Structure 1
Amino acid sequence: MNTDTRKYAASSDWSRPPPGIFWRSILSSSRNDALGMRRWQLWIWWTRSRSFSEWIITFRDLMTFPLDSLLGTIRTARQYASKVKHEHRIPVHTQLKDMLALRVKTKLPFRLYYQLQLFLPDRKPAADQFFLETGKLFQVLSLAFQESGDFQIFLDKRSFEAWCIKHGFPSIKTLAEFADNKVVRRSPEPLPPADLISKPTDGEGGKGVELWRHRINNGISSWTNGTIEARSCEELESCIASTAARHNRPLILQPCLSSHPVVRAMGNGALCTLRIMTISKQVGDAEMLLVVLRMPTGTSAADNFDTGGLAAPVDIQSGKCGMAVYKKDGYPARKLALHPDTDEPLFGQTLPYLTESVNLVLRAHNTLSPKWPVIGWDVAILDDGPVLVEANHMPCPALAQIPTGIPLGSTRFVDCLLEQMRTTFHV
């Protein structure tokens, strides 16, 4: 692993030895559902290295858990309960009772009751099978994988692009790469007179993405990010190189792709992407779990759900979009049938190339060696079909569950993840 990506891999703080006899008996009997997954999270939490003072705090928190749960339920209800009562006609006392019962049973953070809309009649029966806390499991598992095979593609966009080229998967071409205040790699072709995107090689969540709009004045090409104007290819490269040096992280420059017209009309003009979650065991073919369409809003060049993008569930059989979810206004998230900026219809729209997109990510997952149990693939649908944007080895459970209403604990998500945990830790 090269030095640029090592620091973005899982920290050694997540290293855990194989479980001892006590934990082995608990983990070996865990079911393949959300409650079984929480046993593994509990093992990770208890076996973390702590100082004496930290152990004192840990036991104090355990002793005060009942009171903290009651007070936390009341505080959270004060923030969200009136909105739910007004919009969904659910009495406040019912919300309090259900939230407290869920907290005691699952130890879920209070706000998740509203984040995941577990008060809804169709979600309430399986409320204990929803979760957002997968990060600990993925981090611990990453340490066992990060030096092996194709794992590098999850940590660095350059490695992902090279892997796609090697296996013949369509992906976004990098035009230039920047580090140490200079261009370290450049495509043989000159920069195209078109909009371009710069982004960190290790970025996630749309952070660090900059859109460089192209324009022509008096026959002279220039690019601007809204603050700086670069009047030549050399000036643009110099601007991005200095940004890479200032933030001490490599950047890449890529063409600003345009979605298929049907998909483009559902956003703000910037690229929309599918999040397709696939799952796999080490033996056997990968399976498709769910599909969500992400759409940017406002002036954003990124469609990230956490930073203001919309997310709509996609029916796998028909290719039609469900109601879009917009959570930037706060929780519970707002559901929309139209795009808030353009009033273009979202609900019921049929996506082109969905079957081809699903087949693409399944082939990609099956190509990985060794196979990672759960992957969130970002796919752009262009005029001539799908292209891979990136692969996420710690896919966001909120993006999977809030728009779709699917409790991941009731799917094979947990089955594949826990099988790999048992194999890795010899349970």
Structure 2
Amino acid sequence: MTKIVSGWGFDRITRELSGAMWTFSRLPDDNSAATFVHRCFQHEIWHEIRLRERIVICAALPFVPLVIAVLATVFTALNGQAIKQRTGKGITRQAREQIGLALRCAILPPWYYIFELHDDDKRQHASEYVNRFEMKSGLYRLLRDYNGGLPVPAERSTAYIKDKLRFMSRCREFGIATAPALLSVAKGKITAIDWSGPGLPEIDLFVKPLQGQNGKNATRWDYLGSGQYRRNDGKNATANEVLECLRQASQRRAFLVQPRLVNHREIADLGNGTLATIRVMSCRNERGEFEVTNAVFRMAQNSTAVVDNFHTGGIAANVDIHTGELGRATCGAWGSTVDGWYEQYYENGAQILHRKLPYWPELIDLVRYAHGSAFSDQVLIGWDVALLDNGPCMIAINKAPDFDMLQRIGRGPVGNERLGKLLAFNLMRTVAAKHHSV
């Protein structure tokens, strides 16, 4: 399914379509945080975009009913029978509900299934979902440009977020635990960082692009002994051959070589040997402090996977931010299955539900410190943190984290929860600062 929607430029289509729908939709007058977020997108982003983009949005409006009907047909065909078996809700009724949600709340048919809005109780709160296009098509940029309504500092941390090597350097500058970096490879040139020996260290290695996301083009090289390594696709190579392979690949993109990190022994059974990470959301609050609002624990499923990406076959479980306890896990695919929620890890039967993560208070403290010290000019951050035997370790940072995963795994909208309220508070202050500067 991912290949199909990629071929359509699916993300671009849904953003333009949803943007057109929200821009001219009528919002309730309920003074809720979720409604304010929607209204902020509707009013503020419309004035931010260029004339050409406004013309595109207006031109898209006549095609909205047709596109909604096509999407409803496609995704009902993919998911309808499974949902009918699970809930007893007929195919026609599912399609009708999808169209109603799209017209009323700008929630397109794929998200009817992703957010399980075939559940009548959840559908009552459909307007409280924060859509990805709202955040990624303007609200994140608005928050960054005006620093959430606070004075904009001379130095911004955004450049340290995009480049993984600069991110690690920033973390080290502020004493934030992060993974070692052995080598960087760019345009055929190898630069030593934390490794001073010849060739490669005789350990398992993890290689990822310096600038990339979602684990694309990442590889793992397991050390077999006697100077031999095996890549995750089964290819064997010597240290020199591995380096030559990296030199050639670096002509297209730069890479970072790191030791392969291993999950804490208490959670080692929740995965296939791939490092599991926790996506932790933190946001600036009313006191100017940084507050953790949500967290999900991600696990790889596919035996060939080298990352735990939720949108490419992995599963994730909600984490109670107060206790570090896991809820049920599920996948993030476009399709649904009858047994789509898991209490146990499918490969080995390891318990997921009610499992408590180690070092949880330390992880919360690490995220709050990192946000407040090294990245305080970012209003909202999605952190990727691993739990190792020696404690939490910062892996990556996302300046525009996706809300879809949080709301699917949390089995409900965040618009009127703590995250939505903080988002609305920061947007309210941003809008005031923006209008004051005009």
Scaled to the shorter chain, the TM-score interval is 0.7 to 0.9
Match of 1:274 among 271, 275, 278: 278
2:136, 2:334 → 1: CA distance? 25
Aligned to 2:290: 286
Q: CA deviation at 1:328?
A: 4.1
1:30, 1:303 → 2: CA distance? 39
1:69, 1:257 → 2: CA distance? 44
Q: CA deviation at 1:141?
A: 4.4
1:40 aligns with 2:40: yes
> Structure 2: where are the runs of 5+ without partners?
1-22, 148-152
1:125 aligns with 2:124: yes
Aligned to 2:377: 371
Structure 2 counterpart of 1:135, one-letter code: K
- Report if the CA contact (8 A) 1:280-1:371 is conserved: no
Match of 2:140 among 133, 138, 142: 138
- Report if the CA contact (8 A) 1:313-1:322 is conserved: yes
Shifted more, 273-282 versus 145-154: the winner is: 145-154
Q: CA deviation at 1:67?
A: 5.6
1:224 aligns with 2:224: no
Aligned to 1:327: 332
Q: CA deviation at 1:424?
A: 5.7
1:212 aligns with 2:221: yes
Match of 2:353 among 347, 355, 370: 347
2:323, 2:215 → 1: CA distance? 29
Match of 1:302 among 304, 307, 314: 307
Structure 1 residue matching 2:125: 3-state secondary structure: helix
Q: Judging changes above 3 Å, is the alpha-carbon distance between structure 1 residues 274 and 398 closer, same or farther for their aligned structure 2 residues?
A: same
Q: CA deviation at 1:71?
A: 5.7
Deviations 1:353-372 (A, max 9, x none): 11111111011111145431
Q: CA deviation at 1:311?
A: 0.3
Q: CA deviation at 1:45?
A: 5.2
Structure 2 residue matching 1:323: 3-state secondary structure: strand
- Report if the CA contact (8 A) 2:228-2:237 is conserved: yes
Aligned to 1:318: 323
1:30, 1:144 → 2: CA distance? 26
- Report if the CA contact (8 A) 2:187-2:250 is conserved: yes
Q: Judging changes above 3 Å, is the alpha-carbon distance between structure 1 residues 300 and 76 closer, same or farther for their aligned structure 2 residues?
A: closer
Aligned to 1:174: 181
- Report if the CA contact (8 A) 1:149-1:370 is conserved: no
> Structure 1: where are the runs of 5+ without partners?
1-22
Aligned to 2:159: 152
Aligned to 1:389: 395
- Report if the CA contact (8 A) 1:374-1:416 is conserved: no
1:135, 1:329 → 2: CA distance? 19
RMSD of the TM alignment (CA)? 2.9
2:230, 2:68 → 1: CA distance? 51
Structure 2 counterpart of 1:48, one-letter code: I
2:74, 2:208 → 1: CA distance? 39
Identity of aligned residues (%): 25
Aligned to 2:208: 199
Structure 1 counterpart of 2:104, one-letter code: K
2:144, 2:323 → 1: CA distance? 35
Structure 1 counterpart of 2:249, one-letter code: T
Q: CA deviation at 1:238?
A: 2.6
Q: CA deviation at 1:274?
A: 0.9
Match of 1:184 among 191, 202, 223: 191
Shifted more, 270-279 versus 342-351: the winner is: 342-351
1:109, 1:139 → 2: CA distance? 23
Aligned to 1:90: 89
Q: Judging changes above 3 Å, is the alpha-carbon distance between structure 1 residues 102 and 361 closer, same or farther for their aligned structure 2 residues?
A: same
Deviations 1:205-232 (A, max 9, x none): 111111011111xxx2222313543323
Structure 2 residue matching 1:360: 3-state secondary structure: helix
- Report if the CA contact (8 A) 1:326-1:336 is conserved: no
Q: CA deviation at 1:46?
A: 6.7
- Report if the CA contact (8 A) 1:72-1:110 is conserved: yes
- Report if the CA contact (8 A) 1:323-1:337 is conserved: yes
Structure 2 counterpart of 1:340, one-letter code: Y
Q: Judging changes above 3 Å, is the alpha-carbon distance between structure 1 residues 115 and 45 closer, same or farther for their aligned structure 2 residues?
A: farther
Shifted more, 270-279 versus 103-112: the winner is: 103-112
Structure 1 counterpart of 2:127, one-letter code: D
- Report if the CA contact (8 A) 2:344-2:353 is conserved: yes
Q: Judging changes above 3 Å, is the alpha-carbon distance between structure 1 residues 229 and 67 closer, same or farther for their aligned structure 2 residues?
A: closer
Q: TM-score, structure 2 length as denominator?
A: 0.81
Aligned to 2:406: 400
Aligned to 1:162: 169
Q: Judging changes above 3 Å, is the alpha-carbon distance between structure 1 residues 198 and 380 closer, same or farther for their aligned structure 2 residues?
A: same
Q: What is the number of residues matched between the two proteins?
A: 394
Structure 1 residue matching 2:250: 3-state secondary structure: helix
Q: Judging changes above 3 Å, is the alpha-carbon distance between structure 1 residues 386 and 273 closer, same or farther for their aligned structure 2 residues?
A: same
Structure 2 counterpart of 1:204, one-letter code: Q
Q: Judging changes above 3 Å, is the alpha-carbon distance between structure 1 residues 269 and 380 closer, same or farther for their aligned structure 2 residues?
A: same
Aligned to 2:17: none
Structure 2 residue matching 1:303: 3-state secondary structure: coil
2:84, 2:275 → 1: CA distance? 36
- Report if the CA contact (8 A) 1:178-1:252 is conserved: yes
Q: TM-score, structure 1 length as denominator?
A: 0.83
Structure 2 residue matching 1:358: 3-state secondary structure: helix
- Report if the CA contact (8 A) 2:344-2:351 is conserved: yes
